[in-house]
Amino acid sequence: MKARTRTIISMSGLFALCLTVGCERTPHEKVFTIGMSQCNLGEPWRVQMNADVKNAADKHPNIKVIFKDAQNDTLKQRAHIEEFVSAGVGLIIISPKEAAPLTEPVAKAVDAGIPVIVLDRRVLGDKYTCFIGADNKLIGREAGKWIVKKLGGQGKVVELKGLMTSTPGQDRHTGFRAGIEGSQIEVIFEADMKWLEPDARKEMESALARFDEIDLVYAHNDPGAHGAYLAAKAAGRETDIMFVGIDALPHEGVMYVKQGILDATLQYPTGGAEAIDIALKILNGEEVPKEITLGSRIFTTENVEAGGELIGS
């Protein structure tokens, strides 16, 4: 049989199959375009978020996602949102670099009738359709409580903070301070490392130069904790200090705990799959909650092989 005839036969077979079992997608089904603005793709966690969005979206032939990377530039990210609005996308997903400057473009998109899902870092106020993210205050507080226990209620701690114009940085800080309240834990050095490993390493070099005694480093993300570890290792002091981070990607933070580089990491789920789930609901005209709070686990040297432990339960 010639190849062309075979193709015609198999196409008609497919059509017959569609008639009997019902195809998921009819030729007239509307295809929705989703604009996804990622604040940067420099950290493994953000690469994972985009992969989670893509994997979830690939399961639905009626949605198409356009990914944009702001490369850690707030002005670029503002422009993304404006471009998505003028292109008339069906929905926008944004993981904003910082809260204040991204608030206005998000509000304008909502005013233009485009639903906006805000992922992980917040904007100010409540002019968005749905926020999805884990509870950073809880994560910070649980980190603090674990540290108090681990250090027997007292010790000298370095806090390497995430970008303090972003809400996870603010919440992981206030949560942590609440978690150590009433203990003899002393924060002897704190600095904004802007979520970046090289900045964390530099800040830690200053801390090491100033203080002979450091018991533990609490960093707002795993790249920060790893940067601090590298600085301590270069100074020959890594075995005197404990390191705690946040994110707990299997191939990053969890692996560091297994390798003995970090003593603990708290999971910060990307929310990528949930964002697509909610996007579909919105695009199909269903009501969605304003806030979706994702759960989190703590992974420590003691429990990492058993898969960590749920926090806040």
- Return the range that interacts with ligand FRU (CB under 6 A); candidates 50-58, 162-170, 234-242, 299-307: 162-170
Pick from 32, 34, 35, 45: which binds ligand FRU (CB under 6 A)? 45
- Return the range that interacts with ligand FRU (CB under 6 A); candidates 20-28, 62-70, 148-156, 161-169: 161-169
Say how far residue 164 (Cα) sits from the centre of its chain. 16
155: left (phi over 0), alpha (psi -120 to 50) or beta: left
Residue 268 binds to ligand FRU (criterion: CB under 6 A): yes
- Return the range that interacts with ligand FRU (CB under 6 A); candidates 38-46, 80-88, 150-158, 275-283: 38-46
Residue 218 binds to ligand FRU (criterion: CB under 6 A): no
CB of 261 to ligand FRU, least distance (A): 16
CB of 186 to ligand FRU, least distance (A): 25
Pick from 32, 34, 37, 46: which binds ligand FRU (CB under 6 A)? 46
Nearest CA to 67 among 95, 45, 42, 107? 95
Between β-strands 32-38 and 63-69, what pairing exists: parallel, antiparallel or unpaired?
Answer: parallel
* x-marked contacts with ligand FRU along 100-139 as a string, rule CB under 6 A: --------------------xx------------------
Residues that bind ligand FRU (CB under 6 A): 43, 45-46, 120-121, 162, 166, 168, 195, 221, 246-247, 268
